[in-house]
DNA sequence: TAATATCTGTTTGGTAGCAAACGAAATCGG
DNA sequence: CCGATTTCGTTTGCTACCAAACAGATATTA
């Protein structure tokens, strides 16, 4: 149903094709990928300007709080993993959350290299009153989609995530399990 | 077809529901939104570590180069708009691209507040050899999807983008054209 | 034309994000 | 035990990103 009906896109497609000369252009893939990125930016921006700003939280800060709420006290490395952040970035995010009084760090006695992060009372109160509102906001963001479409969208994206997260640079079969390459 | 088959997700859903008590959880929306974000992160990371790193470009830098290539010399404000960046951010991105020798700034004589940005020879060479490779990479990212699925994904995301970009905080009809609110 | 308002890009101050270097702590090999 | 290696989290240096304050140029209007 009227895919590519936007004349702006047709314009762009024609212009790109001109620039490319006779090289092939995979327009469908281009549009899919760029829309993933634009949607993420729009959704994040809207969240940070709306719900999250009232609590002084960024997207990453919220995610971290949420993970701690759902899974409980965690070690830094696991937390970084669960939040999909590098450990260096996580140190910064936790530092900010700590300054705001939402979380606290505890050095592990049995292995003093390790540090665990947990919610403070204030952090718990915050996420408990914030999450329901955040979930409502999520509902608004995909409010134009039916339930089936939401599930379809999530599933299509899941397949993209799996591909993008795969280790290999060109991944022939795509089932290499973290093989080290010299 | 086996939606929510991931036991990890069922676990999470149960845990969240426990934390929420008897408040309602819109799991479908949550999953859709969080997958949008995770897919964007994965896709961006993969691009920056792969194709883009060879050219010393970030995602934003690439986008800017691409826009200039397709649409030609542009004024800063329009460029920021087209790249979906704030004007302040664009200043920084252009500064980096300038340092790398990809673009150049020109002050407009007829209105000396304005500045236009255009590709240098090196910038043109770069985007011309980079884009085909980037487009291949885009194809890989959505390589598990059929053409119809790519179009379906793009269309679903387009609807999310429209919703998230809408001005109003709760936007009754959602057709307000940038109305100023006091 | 002179005061004022508006528009343009830049700067500033803050957070986020990554990779790589780092230092402290634990573990392993002899 | 003791030196070497590995495993932690943090720090560092860089880029990106935003909002808000800013300064210079242009428009407006009295």
Spell out the alpha helix ranges (H) of B21-84: 27-49, 51-54, 59-71, 76-83
**Residue B158 within any structural domain of the chain:** yes
Report the CATH number that the domain containing residue A77 is assigned in CATH: 1.10.10.10
Say how many domains are in chain A.
1
Asked whether the beta carbons of residue A59 and residue B37 sit closer than 8 angstroms, the reply is: yes
- What Rg value do the Cα atoms of chain A yield, rounded? 21
Q: Which residues pair with A74 in a beta bridge?
A: A117
Tell me which DSSP letter residue A106 carries: E
Query: How far is B181 from chain A, CA to nearest CA, in Å?
Result: 16
Please report whether residue B177 resides in a domain. no
Q: Is B178 exposed, middle or buried (0-12, 13-18, 19+ CB in 10 A)?
A: exposed
- Cβ contact A76 with chain C strand, < 7 A: no
Residues 103-122 of B with CB under 7 A from strand C: 105, 113-115
Report if residue B53 sits inside a domain. Answer: yes
Query: Of residues A171 and A166, which shows the higher confidence score?
Result: A166
Residue B13 is predicted with a pLDDT of 82
> Is there a domain that residue B14 lies in?
no
Model pLDDT, residue B5: 56
B180 in a structural domain: no
| Residue A70 belongs to domain spanning | 29-163
The residue among B43 and B22 whose pLDDT is bigger is B43
Using the predicted structure, report yes or no on whether residue A29 has a pLDDT greater than 90. yes
| CB B115, CB B75: distance < 8 Å | yes
In a domain, A110, yes or no: yes
In angstroms, rounded to a whole number, what is the distance separating the alpha carbons of residues B29 and B155? 17
Does a structural domain hold residue A116?
A: yes
Separation between Cα atoms, residue B121 and residue B119, nearest integer Å: 7
**Which chain B residues have a beta carbon less than 8 Å from that of A59?**
37
| Contact positions of strand C to protein Cβ (< 7 A) | 7-13, 15-21, 23-27
Summarize pLDDT for A85-130 with one digit per residue, the tens.
999 999 999 999 999 999 999 999 999 999 999 999 999 999 999 9
Strands laid side by side in the B74-75 sheet: B74-75, B115-119, B103-107
Q: How far is A145 from chain B (nearest CA, A)?
A: 8
With respect to residue A156, please indicate whether it lies within any of the assigned structural domains.
yes
> Could you read off the pLDDT of B102-157 as tens digits, one per residue?
999 999 999 999 999 999 999 999 999 999 999 999 999 999 999 999 999 999 99
């Amino acid at each position: 149903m009227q895919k590519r009906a936007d004349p702006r896109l047709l314009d762009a497609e024609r212009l790109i094709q001109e620039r490319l000369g006779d090289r092939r252009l995979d327009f469908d893939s281009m549009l899919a990928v760029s829309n993933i990125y634009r949607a993420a930016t729009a959704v994040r921006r809207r969240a940070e300007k709306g719900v999250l700003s009232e609590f002084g939280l960024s997207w990453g800060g919220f995610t971290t709080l949420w993970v701690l709420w759902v899974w409980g006290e965690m070690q830094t490395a696991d937390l970084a993993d669960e939040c999909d952040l590098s450990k260096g970035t996580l140190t910064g995010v936790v530092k900010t959350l700590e300054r705001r009084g939402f979380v606290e760090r505890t050095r592990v006695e049995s292995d003093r290299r390790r540090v665990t992060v947990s919610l403070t009372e204030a952090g718990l109160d915050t996420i408990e009153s914030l999450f329901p509102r955040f979930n409502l906001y999520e509902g608004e963001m995909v409010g134009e989609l039916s339930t089936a479409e939401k599930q379809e969208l999530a599933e299509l994206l899941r397949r993209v995530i799996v591909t993008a997260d795969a280790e290999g640079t060109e991944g022939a079969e795509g089932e290499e399990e973290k093989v080290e390459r010299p």
